[in-house]
Structures are given as C-alpha cells and as structure tokens.
Structure 1
C-alpha cells in the first residue's frame, strides 16, 4: 500500500493594507493637541511673565525682562499692597460687586417673570428695548449722567456707582433669565395656583428654584463686569478711600515713580480674586450659558 498523500490547499491571502484611517485619526488628534497647547501658552504665558516680573528687583528686571527670577522678592507684594492701597480697593470692589450682583438678580428675575409669565402690555416692545440698550455704548450717557448724579448728590459715592451698574448690567441679565423662564413648563405653576398659591408664592416657591442656574450665571456675569469695569468707576469716583481696585491700581500705575516690579505685583493682586472665583465657579458659569440658549 502506498502512503496516502495529504494535499494542503492554500487559502487565498489578502495583502495587508496600511491603517491609513488610524494614522489620519492620530494625526488629527495630535494637531488638535498642538493647537490647544499653543492656545494655553498664549493664555497662561503673559500671566506667568507677569508673576516673574513681580518677583524681581528693578535691576534684575532691566537685565532680564523675560527671564525667571533667581532670587524672588516676595516683599514686592507687600510694598504694592501698601503703596497702591490695594486693601481699601479690594474692600470697595467687594461691596460694589456684591451689591451689583444682588441688585441685578432682583431686577432681572422680576422683570423676566413679568415678561414671560404675566400679561404685560407691550412686553415685546420691552424685549426689543432691552436688546437695543445692550448694544448702545455707555459713552453716550456719560455727560447727562454726570450732570444728573451731581445734582442728585450721588457723585463720588459707592451707591451712585452701584445704581449705574444696575442700569447697565440688568438688560442682558433680564434677557438671560427670561430665556430660562420661557423654557420652563407651565404645568408646575398651574398646579400651584390650583392649590391656592398666589402670584408671589408661585414666583418665589416654584419659578425661582427652577431658574436658579440662570440667576447664578447672571450674578457671576454682572459681578465680574462690575469688578473689571473702569470707565464709569474712574468717572464717578474721585475720593481715594472710595476707589475700587481697578481705579486704585490705575492711580498707582500713573504715579510719578514707575517701578514696574511693584506695578506687576499690584496687577497680580488685582487678578488673583477673579481667577479664584472663575476656577471655583467655572462649571456653573459654563452650564448656565450653554443651557440658556437665549431662546423665546
């Protein structure tokens, strides 16, 4: 008997193709990472250079404006704090920001509730009016407002500046909160009215808890704007003990002796509270903006 011959059939083989799709995906991902890295350097670079200059001496700053401080001078922050009056400025800014945020929230939520839920004659006209007022530059009203505030005794007072901020920042906040209220279902309010709740109870117990993200966003926006605002503050506040931190820093920067190390330290002191507030509240800030949609 002859041994049986086993025949093996060769399976058809397909040539391996290069994973061009993966390469394109990885290349696109690396490109996105590179762009994000450049944007991060563009955003953080000036702040880092600002901090380096604040820790140098005047001679070290003149020798190496872009270098890292070899012997940090931490007392520059104390000198800037004392010479620029940053403590008084931060206290005044805290009063202005808190009062502005609270007042804008009260005005915005009541006006938004009236335009979105109550039958107010001419509510559409008021919406267009708010849109127009947000687009107008404040420089148009400086001269008549200065005359009115001088006659009313509100010039060079924190209350007068806060009232101006209420008027300037409330239109946008009203439109923002109204966009939240328009998106709310009316069944909750109708159920509360069937249970015997009045209009104020419906507003305070039903509507306000549901539009809390919008109110928080309006408070953050108006508070940051009040903290960073300069033109109205330098126009309507002249006394040194009433200056917010922005005008106090400007007065220190415009002094006769230009010590750029102390100017950098004072500017960093002014920026740090805003950075801390944004880092702590950035999630709610972004969620409030994206969930509003400014619809209706």
Structure 2
C-alpha cells in the first residue's frame, strides 16, 4: 500500500477525534479514511483504536504509532519544504500565527512590506489566542507569549513585554489610588476570563510575590475589551504596554503600583517558534530578519514612550 496517505489519515483521525472529522479535514469520505485505518491495522497486525459509539481511543500500539507517524510526516514535510526552497530567494506561502491583539497591531503591518520586497512570496497571518499545532496546522512560524517555549520547536526571543497596572484618571478620582497590592480588593479589577482565575500575582523589586483575590462585575476574554473598559472608567486593569502606550503617554490612563510587576501566565517575552525543518528556509529567515529590525533593540511602543 501507499503508506504516506494512510499515515496522514491516521494522524488526522487522532487530531480531530473521529474518522468523520478527519474526512472533512482531508476532503474525502469517511469510508476512505476507515479503509486506510483498517489497512494499517492489517499491515501492523495490531489494533490502533478502541472503538465505541461515541469516540475513538488509541490503543497502546496506536499511541506508539502516533508518536512515530507524526515525526515521520514532519520529516517528509521538511524535505518537501527544503527542496521547494532551494536557493536564496524566499518563495511560496509564509504562514504566520500570532495572538489576536499583538498580531493585528504589530505583525499585520509588516506583511505588506515583506511581500513587496519579495515578489515570489505570499503571506498569511493566522490570528488566534489559542496554541496552534505547528505541524498539523502547517504553520511556518508562531509568535507566542509564553514563560516556557515548546521543547520540540526552535524558539527565538523576539522582544520583552512589559505590563502595567493602570486605570483611567476619572476612575481613580472617584475610587482612590491603590497604594499597596491589597488595596485592589476594594476596586473593580478587570480580569481576563479563563486566564487569571481572578487572582492577581504582583512581584515587588525583590521578587516577593503578593497574590490578591480581585473582583469585578465585568469580565472579558479579549485584552482589547479590557483596554476599552479601563478607558471608560470601569476599573483597574493589567495591560501590556504594546497596547496602552499611547493612552499612558497622553494621560487617558494612569499607571498605579509602579513598584510592582504583574506576574502573568503569558510570561515576559515574545518568542518566534518554528520546527527544526524551517531553520534554513529563506521565507522564515526573511520574516525573522524583519522582526529583528522592527522590534530590536527597542520595540516601537518603547521608542514612542521615550
């Protein structure tokens, strides 16, 4: 049998959780996927899935095969990419993933410049706050805000990210300025739904942590909505300076608790993450070079603040 399509189908079944989902992803019928899985099981002499009416669960053999199949498919894909990108000129499609707010404000404007400089290159920007799978989603490079870059990818630090605790001056005039972290319990604190569990962690200059259970009647899962709510005077927020530098500079927002650094799950740095097969791919290199020019030694929002 032609093993490559069958291995790809198997991995798609695992990733999507069902043969029907894999078929939709592959653009074929469920029967075709089922046939390929059955042929794999006959070839290996082992069941790869435990089947039930509701879901598919990997057997021990299936789990081992899944690990090796993913690596094999990535190796094949890496070979194809390397061959397509022989030479120095970047060509083909560059697929970049970034978080919604950072990508919209700081990465989207870069892509037309890169495309204009390289006529054989097309650029795609995938904006999502979820973690993408570099292999399954065919992403050339993902920009991730994280404390710990993935161990199975190459990770290059792009820029440090600073966050501030801030509020609108008219909110502070009504409710007072918090002088210590525990003063926040008396304030409306605009939390990031599903991200901080309504507990803010703040570090002083010595690295000592203060954990404060905060409350608010308004919650969001989008940082731009938190910015809008803070500007409207609805509460105190933790915001990255790449989003609120102009508002801080013109006085629409005021930083408070300057001696404390918000300690958030996203970490302090933005990383460019890509698979080892992309290390020498010209289209990835030109994008990394553009990031370095744009964000180093100081990012534009810090230069503006200076």
Q: Give TM-score scaled by structure 2 length.
A: 0.20
- Structure showing the higher helix proportion among its residues: 1
- Structure showing the higher strand proportion among its residues: 2
Instruction: Using CA pairs under 8 Å that are at least 6 residues apart, name the structure with larger relative contact order, 1 or 2.
Output: 1
Q: Give TM-score scaled by structure 1 length.
A: 0.21
